């Protein structure tokens, strides 16, 4: 495609001008094709300077979640054969569930600029406006029993923290189990979903999704989440969305390789990042709630707490509210 060829030429020679005639000669395309390619790239958000007698020079790239931009931030030779960049989708997890049933391979990535039905845990809605965040999921097909995948959500939280730190220079905290925290507000979240084979009960596929708020200003959050949510920009940090998407892909691939092996380094990182530990918490059950103290995270990312009667237990499901965060102050 002429557009991709023209883009590649200009990208490989930053700061250099190429005349339309030179581009045409180098790429073996017509001058009209060159002009159309330049026009198309500009409409995609690329800044291309044009100077009489000098030609064209690429001087700026859009903060866009498109394949060419994401791939240029991946390490040379990094194998990610199935990278699907969607302008808009209901949710990247839902999309990959459909694609998994249709035979999509292990390692398939879905990333989108906007989710119309983004989801979090317990079917909560995850606000996913266009041009503001990174919404990305990975499809894994680990040949492992479900019991060996219990730590996937905790590992994913560490992976997202790694990616954010790499790109934005700030490491979020983790509110047990899967909320990313910055400035005591929610920066993003993680959703893991698993499907089992009906006859064997073995894992058919595992999908891990993450949403990270990047560019929203404080006033952009709707009233129902304004007191809870934040973004990198709202906290004073800048990040390229395609660079963050690439960092997430690297981190999720690393996670996939470590499933079923020694995950103790992931647990240690989770303990270090977990803002819940040492805090007074409320355990929110279907039948009620109780107060406790968060003590530790076990080797499968379960939350070890001390109840008011002095007994200790490990929480693996349900909601945990942390004192001083998300409105819990009493």
Which class does domain 67-273 fall in?
alpha beta
Mode of pairing for the β-strands spanning 109-112 and 179-182: unpaired
Continuous segment of H or E residues that includes residue 100: helix 92-101
Q: Residue 328 pLDDT > 60, yes or no?
A: no
* DSSP annotation of 78: -
The Cα–Cα gap between 206 and 192 comes to 7
329 falls in which pLDDT band (50, 70, 90)? very low
* Residue pLDDT, tens place only, 196-212: 987 777 899 999 999 99
Quick one: which of 309, 158, 148 has its CA closest to 247? 158
Question: Domain residues of the chain, as ranges?
Answer: 2-60, 67-273, 280-322
Which class does domain 2-60 fall in?
mainly alpha
What's the order of all strands across the beta sheet hosting 185-196? 83-86, 109-112, 133-140, 203-213, 185-196, 179-182, 173-175
Mean pLDDT of 204-231: 92
pLDDT at 320: 77
Could you tell me which residues are beta bridge partners of residue 274?
174
The Cα–Cα gap between 236 and 105 comes to 38
* Residue pLDDT, tens place only, 60-119: 999 999 998 999 999 988 989 899 999 999 999 999 999 999 999 999 999 999 999 876
Mean pLDDT of 306-315: 94
In terms of pLDDT, which residue wins out, 220 or 140? 140
The Cα–Cα gap between 49 and 18 comes to 10
The encoded tokens of residue 133 equal 């965040």
* Residue pLDDT, tens place only, 130-180: 889 999 999 999 989 998 999 999 999 999 999 999 999 999 999 998 999
Enter the pTM of the model: 0.88
* DSSP annotation of 226: T
Instruction: Using DSSP, state whether 320 is helix, strand or coil.
Output: strand
125 falls in which pLDDT band (50, 70, 90)? low
pLDDT at 286: 61
**What's the mean per-residue pLDDT of the chain?**
91
Could you tell me which residues are beta bridge partners of residue 320?
283
Quick one: which of 79, 82, 80, 77 has its CA closest to 95? 82
Q: By CB neighbour count within 10 A (0-12 exposed, 13-18 middle, 19+ buried), where does 167 fall?
A: buried
Under CATH, which number does the domain 280-322 receive?
2.30.30.100
């Amino acid at each position: 495609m002429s557009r991709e060829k023209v883009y590649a030429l200009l990208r490989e020679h930053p700061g250099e001008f190429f005349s339309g005639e030179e581009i045409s000669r180098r790429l073996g395309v017509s001058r009209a094709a060159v002009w159309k390619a330049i026009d198309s790239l500009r409409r995609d958000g690329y800044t291309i300077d044009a100077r009489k007698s000098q030609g064209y020079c690429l001087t700026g790239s859009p903060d866009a979640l498109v394949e060419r931009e994401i791939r240029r931030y991946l390490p040379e030779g990094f194998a990610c054969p199935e990278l699907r960049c969607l302008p808009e989708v209901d949710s990247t997890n839902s999309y990959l569930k459909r694609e998994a049933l249709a035979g999509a391979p292990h390692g398939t990535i879905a990333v989108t600029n906007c989710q119309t039905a983004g989801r979090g845990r317990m079917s909560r809605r995850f606000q996913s406006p266009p041009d503001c965040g990174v919404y990305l999921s990975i499809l894994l097909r680990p040949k492992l029993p479900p019991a060996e995948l219990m730590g996937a959500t905790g590992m994913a939280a560490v992976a997202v923290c790694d990616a954010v730190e790499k790109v934005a220079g700030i490491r979020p905290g983790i509110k047990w189990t899967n909320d990313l925290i910055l400035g005591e507000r929610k920066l993003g979240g993680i959703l893991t979903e698993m499907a089992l084979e009906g006859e064997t009960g073995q894992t058919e596929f595992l999908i891990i999704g993450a949403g990270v708020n990047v560019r929203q200003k404080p006033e952009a959050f709707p009233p129902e989440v304004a007191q809870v949510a934040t973004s990198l920009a709202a906290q004073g940090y800048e990040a390229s969305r395609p660079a963050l998407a690439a960092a997430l892909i690297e981190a999720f691939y690393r996670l996939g390789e470590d499933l079923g092996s020694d995950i103790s380094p992931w647990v240690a990182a989770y303990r270090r990042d977990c803002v819940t530990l040492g805090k007074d918490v409320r355990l929110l059950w279907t039948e009620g709630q109780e107060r406790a103290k968060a003590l530790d995270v076990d080797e499968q990312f379960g939350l070890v707490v001390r109840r008011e009667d002095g007994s200790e237990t490990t929480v693996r499901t349900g909601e945990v509210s942390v004192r001083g965060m998300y409105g819990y102050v009493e």
